[in-house]
Chains A and B, each alone.
Chain A
Amino acid sequence: MSPQPQAAVGAPLSRVDGRLKVTGQALYAAEHDADGAVHAVIVDAAIGRGRITGVDTADAEKHRGVLRVIHHGNAPTLPYRDNSGSNNPPGRRLRVFQDDRVLFHGQPVAVVVATTLEAAQHGASLVKVGYDAQEPSTDLAEAEPGKPTDYARGDAEAGLRSSAVRLDVTYQLARNHHNPMEPHATIARWDGNRLTVWDKTQWVMGTHDELAAVFDLPADAVRVINPFVGGGFGSGLRCWPHTTVAALAARETGRPVKLVLSRRQMYFGTGFRPSYEYRLRLGSDRRGRLSAAIHDIDAETSSYETFTEAVMGAGQMLYSMPHVSQAYRTVPLDVNTPIWMRGPGFASASFVIESAMDELAHELGIDPIELRRRNEPSEDESSNLPFSTRRLRECCTVGAREFGWHRRSPKPRSTRDGDWLIGLGMAAGVYDPGRYPGDARARLDADGTAVVEAATSDMGPGTYTSQTQVAADALGLNMRTVTFRLGDSLYPRTSPHGGSSTMASVGTAVVDACNQVRQQAIRLAVEDRESPLYGVDTDEVVVRSGRLHVQGNPARGETYRSLLARNNRSHLEANGSYTGPPSPARHSYHAYNATFAEVAVDATLGLVRVRRMLGVYDAGRIISPKLADSQAIGGIVGGIGTALLEHTVTDHRDGRIVNANLADYLVPVNADVPEVRAIYLDGEDNDGNALGVKGLGEVVQVGVAAAIGNAVFNATGRRVRQLPITAEALL
């Protein structure tokens, strides 16, 4: 098979769906037109733990427009079949309206269905719920952790004892919420026993499987549709209880039901990045060579499910050292279940590890970049596998040069600009990108256009655009003649759209499907006596702009259109697949970055302002440079939020989230986002995917908070071990 010329891949193209989005034609979950849809509003539990003693729906039911109030006292029993293979963590998932127990503040306890949104909202406020309240346990620092997940190599305790230099630091990381612009929303419609759902999700198949399990429906009786996602950051990786509530309400009322979570409800109706208390002990020699690390990691989870994430990975392989031990304990609390949020696990761990490395560098008087160089491993010491590619050192070198690292004074508090103390900081980042099996379908029509489909999603990285680029090159078509479709459970099954897995996984399946279609066309041509390509070796034929020709001889060939017309073929079609990475693994496959920050800290008022940031990425091949920049900027903005602003605050007396709105839960605004620059090391990583990619969307947020925290230290001499870093820590 001759290699196809690359025209679209690597080009800095604008989003193919950009016009739809800026003209309002892109329909989000709540915007789909379901004839006769009525509105549902959830009533949230006003206690943090306990039992419901009564639900008085009389006033609500009397309110004009209210059709039905459903709660545990009148809801039908739902099958809630087991749904293995889903993103439901181990445990017993929350079953809506199935009993009188309240497991967390804000849990759905009733739903009001009405003919208008206003009537449903007001009706919800009229439902009186009686409670037998118990004191909830929501404080990570106070509660008992569960059994740890352990990792060990060498003898970390002994290694630490014999280290010349020891560091013992504990970091606290606040809970963060994703806060995508688009609220979570569901429209559910039943046609007999068939259920159609428009749902905000990063995984239509996940919602599909969960609804089939909850209602015990055959797989083909459920269809989930979600062509556009207004931001996700991980919050759409799981089918949440409100989706079931919408489907239940639709079944009970016999009407299509639209249910949109309020911004407030998104703080307990969907998951969050869990808070952590993370103690790290590091031992090194006087030259900064690490010998041992002991990680004691506590993270919150709910009382009913054990959520874990990849918080142990970075500590096992980012730096070379003989002795490592880790204990990762989840702490069950009376909260709803967390979920992955951008850079899951790695972003949290890297804040701790990279801050501690900065502390060690300062302690030893070694430049932070030099310290990382001295601990560069030659293989992945957690698996003893060679790296597929690892260019962290190059990220650091390029970043140092481009950021002006040489201008950084190693002495804290030595650079001033008026009232502001100026500091520079850096951190390394690593992420373990996902590669999961999945399918795609490609179809070339007689008019020379193609449609490619997969049940993936586009939460913002630009899946529509990048998959079109990949498909266009594999088919030998121009971008505008290829349509990529996603977000429908009728399309070929894919894995969740998350974990930086989509291009490697779905992209590989798309390439496979498109290659097959192109090969079908080539075979058709070379076997067709009337084709100019008759008799040519299939390996000698390439396709460009919809025209097949002999490689090196563009004059000899013909178009897809003429080929299909002459052969009376309405279309050519193929299913492609990706079977996942090599098993057993041959390489350690990770994406890396070096992130640099310059901050200004008001010397007396304690305010931190980021002045500029740079990320240098070893992410394999960059399919779509313009979209990549959007990813990098977004990840850095997210990291600024985690570092300086974002903090979901729980009132431990009753488990209430006190800042469940965007005025009090602070995310960066434009004024907080300075000059941001991204550089991608040119290259590719061919470990088990056709495209040479490593995934970018997650790694861009890893290390950002540490780089900022390290810059704050360089500016002020204050080491703040609590996120977010706010004025009170710096006064």
Chain B
Amino acid sequence: MYPFAYTRVSDTREALNAGRRGGRYIAGGTTLVDLMREAVERPETLVDITGLPLGEITVTERGGLRIGALVTMSEAAAHAKVRTLYPVVSEALELSASAQLRNMATIGGNIMQRTRCTYFRDVTADCNKREPGSGCAALHGHNRTHAILGTSDACVATHPSDAAVAFAALEARVHLLGPDGARQVPFVDFLLRPGSTPQREQALRQGELIAAVEIPALPRPLRSGYLKVRDRQSYEFALTSAAVALHVRGGVIRQAKIAAGGVGTVPWKLPAVEQHLVGERPSQALWSAAAAKAADGARPLQHNRFKVELLKRTVERQLRVVGGTK
């Protein structure tokens, strides 16, 4: 591990000052410390923000939910409002990591977590994300778990978070605090596709701090759920996943919010699938036809070709589970 300075801050101003000077924020540390041990991350200064007042879940004026950045994964998953209003978020969180990790890891850290690409995590391998310009070892290497959507020749790594897939589906917004004041970024714009700069993963400005993730109010009734497909039953990242939320009234789908995980360089919103569903009546035929669009634009690699079909089936299954087959 490279030597680093560690400082604790007790208010937001102090944090932003430290952040502006190049400090890296740390909360649960479940990803960052791991990567520091592997020398993948070499921050000079860690700014411990666990003392900041960002640990609340509140109902917004319009009836959405604002989840503070320092709320732990387990707290968010168990929160009564999250459970009842957005089961897809609770399920995504509970299917992530292990109980021990969920007790430490925060919502802000969860959406900031870095890829599980094994070449990224191996400092002796070429990786444009870790070392811009060095090349992408995964592109023609072992890439079974890698992305099929949103990739570039510079990077094919998936975003590992499950919760982020649910947030992307629900069109959440990220509340940021920065030296120049507060701002909000739509979730789908917060996480960046690799393009030619895979080292840039979030639309964060120097020193900006995540304050909260806000899930907008959605029409009721809203049925939602998360399906995670993986080799073993627990404690593994997704091969594919689907976050589905449907608002059905009068037997007609009025709104559909859908995103996929395990397949994209960022949580992959599926607008074509959503559009196919809106205005239609739930049926198995509808689920199949809509899900057939889930992998549009996919660019599979040598070992992950199966994800194209698996993604469609994952989305179809979760449409049926959430929307029923009536």
Q: Mark A656-669, 1 if CB is under 8 A from B, else 0.
A: 10111101101011
Give Cα A605–Cα B320 distance, bound, in whole angstroms: 14
Decide: A726 and B233 in contact? CB cutoff 8 A. Answer: no
- Pick the contact of B234: A651, A663, A670, A728 (CB < 8 A): A670
Residues of B within 8 A of A181 (CB): none
Residues of B within 8 A of A257 (CB): none
Decide: A645 and B141 in contact? CB cutoff 8 A. Answer: no
Decide: A727 and B122 in contact? CB cutoff 8 A. Answer: no
Residues of B within 8 A of A168 (CB): none
In the complex formed, the residue of B with least CB distance to A63 is B3
Q: Is B33 an interface residue (CB 8 A)?
A: no
Residues of B within 8 A of A669 (CB): 232-235
Q: Is B115 an interface residue (CB 8 A)?
A: no
Residues of A within 8 A of B234 (CB): 669-672
Give Cα A731–Cα B236 distance, bound, in whole angstroms: 20
- Pick the contact of A605: B116, B118, B125, B314 (CB < 8 A): B314
- Pick the contact of B313: A645, A651, A653, A731 (CB < 8 A): A731
Give Cα A663–Cα B30 distance, bound, in whole angstroms: 14
Q: Is B290 an interface residue (CB 8 A)?
A: no
Q: Is A644 an interface residue (CB 8 A)?
A: yes
Residues of B within 8 A of A649 (CB): 142
With contacts A731-B309, A731-B310 taken as known, whether A672 is within 8 angstroms of B118 at the C-beta atoms is no
In the complex formed, the residue of B with least CB distance to A121 is B1
Residues of B within 8 A of A645 (CB): 231-232
With contacts A122-B2, A664-B116, A664-B118 taken as known, whether A651 is within 8 angstroms of B231 at the C-beta atoms is no
Q: Is B119 an interface residue (CB 8 A)?
A: yes
Residues of A within 8 A of B266 (CB): none
- Pick the contact of A668: B39, B137, B141, B232 (CB < 8 A): B232
Q: Is B18 an interface residue (CB 8 A)?
A: no
With contacts A606-B310, A727-B239, A727-B306 taken as known, whether A671 is within 8 angstroms of B232 at the C-beta atoms is yes
Give Cα A645–Cα B229 distance, bound, in whole angstroms: 14
In the complex formed, the residue of A with least CB distance to B314 is A605
Give Cα A672–Cα B229 distance, bound, in whole angstroms: 14
Decide: A727 and B229 in contact? CB cutoff 8 A. Answer: yes
Decide: B141 and A658 in contact? CB cutoff 8 A. Answer: yes
Residues of A within 8 A of B232 (CB): 644-645, 666, 668-669, 671-672
Give Cα A653–Cα B135 distance, bound, in whole angstroms: 14
Q: Is A77 an interface residue (CB 8 A)?
A: no
Residues of B within 8 A of A670 (CB): 234
Secondary structure type dominating chain A contacts: loop
Q: Is A686 an interface residue (CB 8 A)?
A: no
Give Cα A125–Cα B116 distance, bound, in whole angstroms: 21
Decide: A605 and B229 in contact? CB cutoff 8 A. Answer: yes
Give Cα A240–Cα B185 distance, bound, in whole angstroms: 54
Residues of A within 8 A of B313 (CB): 604-605, 731
- Tell me how many residues of A have a C-beta within 8 Å of chain B: 33
- Which of B3, B39, B140, B142 is packed against the most chain A CB atoms within 10 Å? B142
Secondary structure type dominating chain B contacts: loop
Decide: A656 and B39 in contact? CB cutoff 8 A. Answer: no
Q: Which of A642-700 contact B (CB under 8 A)?
A: 644-645, 649, 651, 653, 656, 658-661, 663-664, 666, 668-672
Decide: A671 and B310 in contact? CB cutoff 8 A. Answer: no
Give Cα A605–Cα B313 distance, bound, in whole angstroms: 7
Q: Which of B209-254 contact A (CB under 8 A)?
A: 229, 231-237, 239
With contacts A653-B141, A658-B122 taken as known, whether A731 is within 8 angstroms of B317 at the C-beta atoms is no
Give Cα A649–Cα B141 distance, bound, in whole angstroms: 11
Q: Which of A601-636 contact B (CB under 8 A)?
A: 604-607, 609
Residues of B within 8 A of A46 (CB): 124
With contacts A121-B1, A670-B234 taken as known, whether A605 is within 8 angstroms of B122 at the C-beta atoms is no
- Pick the contact of A726: B121, B124, B140, B231 (CB < 8 A): B231
In the complex formed, the residue of B with least CB distance to A662 is B235
Query: Nearest Cβ in chain B — how far from A363, in angstroms?
Result: 28
Decide: A672 and B233 in contact? CB cutoff 8 A. Answer: yes
With contacts A118-B1, A121-B1, A651-B142 taken as known, whether A727 is within 8 angstroms of B233 at the C-beta atoms is no
Decide: A656 and B125 in contact? CB cutoff 8 A. Answer: yes
Q: Is A191 an interface residue (CB 8 A)?
A: no
In the complex formed, the residue of A with least CB distance to B37 is A121
- Pick the contact of B317: A419, A656, A664, A727 (CB < 8 A): A419
Query: Nearest Cβ in chain B — how far from A230, in angstroms?
Result: 20
Give Cα A664–Cα B317 distance, bound, in whole angstroms: 26
Give Cα A644–Cα B310 distance, bound, in whole angstroms: 18
Query: Nearest Cβ in chain A — how far from B162, in angstroms?
Result: 15
In the complex formed, the residue of A with least CB distance to B138 is A658
- Pick the contact of A122: B1, B229, B239 (CB < 8 A): B1
Give Cα A727–Cα B309 distance, bound, in whole angstroms: 11
Decide: A651 and B124 in contact? CB cutoff 8 A. Answer: no
Decide: B118 and A658 in contact? CB cutoff 8 A. Answer: yes
Q: Which of B40-77 contact A (CB under 8 A)?
A: none
- Provide a sorted-by-A list of 18 A–B residue pairs whose CB atoms are within 8 angstroms: A122-B1, A125-B2, A419-B317, A604-B313, A605-B229, A605-B310, A658-B118, A658-B119, A658-B122, A658-B142, A664-B116, A664-B145, A668-B232, A669-B232, A669-B233, A672-B234, A728-B305, A731-B313
A residues apposed to B, CB below 8 Å: 46, 118, 121-122, 125, 419, 604-607, 609, 644-645, 649, 651, 653, 656, 658-661, 663-664, 666, 668-672, 726-728, 731
B residues apposed to A, CB below 8 Å: 1-3, 39, 116, 118-119, 121-125, 137, 140-142, 145, 229, 231-237, 239, 305-306, 309-310, 313-314, 316-317
